[in-house]
Amino acid sequence: AQSVTQPDIHITVSEGASLELRCNYSYGATPYLFWYVQSPGQGLQLLLKYFSGDTLVQGIKGFEAEFKRSQSSFNLRKPSVHWSDAAEYFCAVGAFDTGRRALTFGSGTRLQVQP
């Protein structure tokens, strides 16, 4: 079964600084990879997804993520963080399995943005 690790529970960056949120996965085949964002009091919203092809994927709100097979990673990046990016970010891996195993979430990284 697949698993997802987000090693950073909490990250604080200054507004305008660059951001990288780490995500490592474990899966025996090429996974489907997702990043979701959860703003305070809201449900989760899809930021971007990787299925195949170009390993650098662009998402909404200026985010991008790079799939690195050799490192089993799918890190999320943004060149310049805005105060409105403060939220919780979840990495997830989707699989060919059916049932609940079709999608596994990491434990999340809470981003705080300092003025």
Interacting residues with other proteins (CB under 8 A): 32, 34, 36, 41-46, 49, 51, 90, 92-103, 105-108, 110
* Cβ at position 98, least distance to other proteins in Å: 4
Residue 49 CA to residue 64 CA, distance in Å, equals: 10
* Cβ at position 100, least distance to other proteins in Å: 4
Q: Which is nearer to other proteins, 83 or 96 (CB)?
A: 96
Residue 37 CA to residue 44 CA, distance in Å, equals: 5
Residue 50 has a CB neighbour count (10 Å cut-off) of: 22
Q: Which is nearer to other proteins, 2 or 85 (CB)?
A: 2
* Cβ at position 80, least distance to other proteins in Å: 27
Beta bridge partners of 33: 50, 93
| Angle, alpha carbons 83-112-106 (nearest 5°) | 120
